[in-house]
Amino acid sequence: MAPVLAKEKLYSIDDIYSLPEGSRAELIDGQIYYMAPPSTNHQRILSFLHLEIGNYIRAKNGECEVFPAPFAVFLFADDSKYLEPDISVVCDKHKLNDHGCSGAPDWIIEIVSSGSRRMDYYTKLSLYRSANVREYWIVDPMKQTILVYDMEHDSAPAIYSFTDNINVNIYNDLWIDFQKLDL
């Protein structure tokens, strides 16, 4: 008689909503990935980018909105991919509802932590590309680099440092000067 293998539990969006208050996790293909609380430098970078992007959108009376984490992003209609990017810029108001964003944001920024490195550089890159996110930035405080993927134009990724002034691809006239970032 062959041994019976234990069946791996597959989680759903209901399991995410059932987590204790304050828990942060993402759901990818039936697996829950818990997130550790962010570091102080992570939050400094998040605040800096959120303010730069938000101030630009406000000054231009722009249609897009910027959302810092925690903000729910359901990449696909089947709810199998529930993510909480560090920053989401959404330009299509029809994608927004009380639960977050249904569909791909236009621009996503992930700030790498020691526990999220593999997820941000590989898993999420693949997911965001397949969901048609237009632009994806990976901000790595440990390496002091910003990897910019212009997925709308299928360009090779560009690598910048924390001393660079970086043009945002979804906007012609938004530049983010990382020298202003005070770590």
| pLDDT tens digits, 122-144 | 999 999 999 999 999 999 999 99
Burial readout 62-96 (b: 16 or more C-beta within 10 A, e: otherwise): bebbbbbbebbbbbeeeeebbbbbbbbbbeeeebe
Residue 24 lies in a domain: no
Q: Residue 63 sits in a domain of what CATH number?
A: 3.90.1570.10
> What is the tally of structural domains in the chain?
1
- Residue 70, preceding bond cis, omega within 30 degrees? yes
Structure tokens at 158: 């560009």
Any idea which residue has 């999420």 for tokens?
A: 124
- What's residue 59's pLDDT? 97
| 98: in domain | yes
What is the residue type of 134?
R
Q: Is 18 contained in some domain?
A: no
The confidence score (pLDDT) of residue 76 equals: 92
Q: Is residue 83 part of a domain?
A: yes
- Domain that residue 113 falls in: 38-180
What is the tens place of the pLDDT at every residue in 24-53?
999 999 999 999 999 999 999 999 999 999
Domain assignment present for 5: no
Determine, yes or no, domain membership for 32. Answer: no
pLDDT for the residue numbered 38 = 94
Q: Considering only CA atoms, which of 19, 21, 2 is closest in space to residue 11?
A: 19
In-domain check, residue 73: yes
- Contact call for residues 146 and 160 (beta carbons, < 8 A): yes
Q: Which helix (H) or strand (E) holds 96?
A: strand 96-97
Distance of CA 28 to the CA centre of its chain: 14
pLDDT in tens, 62-79: 999 999 999 999 999 888
Residue 2 lies in a domain: no
